[in-house]
A = this chain, B = another copy of it.
Amino acid sequence: MKVQLQIKMNEKLFLRDPEQTELGKKIIRHSIQLISKNGFELFTFKKLAEDIGTTEAGIYRYFENKHRLLIYITAWYWGWLQYRVTFITNNIKDPSVKLKKVIHLLATTVVDDDQTIHINEDLLHQIIIAEGSKAYLTKHVSEDNKEQLFKPYKDLCAVIADIILACNTKYKYPRSLASTIIEMAHFQNFFMNNLPSLTDFGKTKDELKVVSFLEDLVFSSVRKK
Chain A positions within 8 Å of B, measured between CB atoms, are 38-39, 41-42, 130-131, 133-134, 136-139, 141-142, 145, 150, 153-154, 157-158, 172-180, 183-184, 187-188, 190-191, 194-195, 197-201, 210, 212-213, 216-217, 220-221, 224
Q: Which residues on B sit within 8 Å (CB–CB) of A133?
A: 133, 137
Q: Which residues on B sit within 8 Å (CB–CB) of A180?
A: 180, 184, 187-188, 217
Assess the B42–A194 pair: CB atoms within 8 A: no
Having A133-B137, A142-B194, A153-B198, one finds 9 other A-B pairs with CB under 8 Å, namely A42-B139, A136-B195, A153-B195, A157-B198, A172-B216, A173-B200, A173-B213, A176-B198, A179-B188
Complex alpha-carbon distance, A162 and B190, angstroms:
22
Assess the B158–A197 pair: CB atoms within 8 A: yes
Q: Which residues on B sit within 8 Å (CB–CB) of A172?
A: 200, 212-213, 216
Complex alpha-carbon distance, A131 and B217, angstroms:
26
Counting chain B CB atoms within 10 Å of each CB, the highest count among A137, A178, A210, A216 belongs to A137
Q: How far is the CB of A139 from chain B (nearest CB, A)?
A: 4
Q: Which residues on B sit within 8 Å (CB–CB) of A174?
A: 200
Q: Please give me the residue from chain B that is nearest to A216 by CB atom.
A: B221
Q: Which residues on B sit within 8 Å (CB–CB) of A141?
A: 194-195
Knowing A39-B139, A130-B137, A190-B137, say if A176 contacts B201 (CB, 8 Å): yes
Complex alpha-carbon distance, A150 and B187, angstroms:
15
List of 10 A-B pairs having minimum Cβ-Cβ separation, nearest first: A39-B139, A220-B221, A220-B220, A179-B198, A173-B213, A176-B199, A141-B194, A220-B224, A173-B200, A175-B200
Assess the A183–B176 pair: CB atoms within 8 A: no
Q: Which residues on B sit within 8 Å (CB–CB) of A134?
A: 134, 137
Assess the B175–A179 pair: CB atoms within 8 A: no
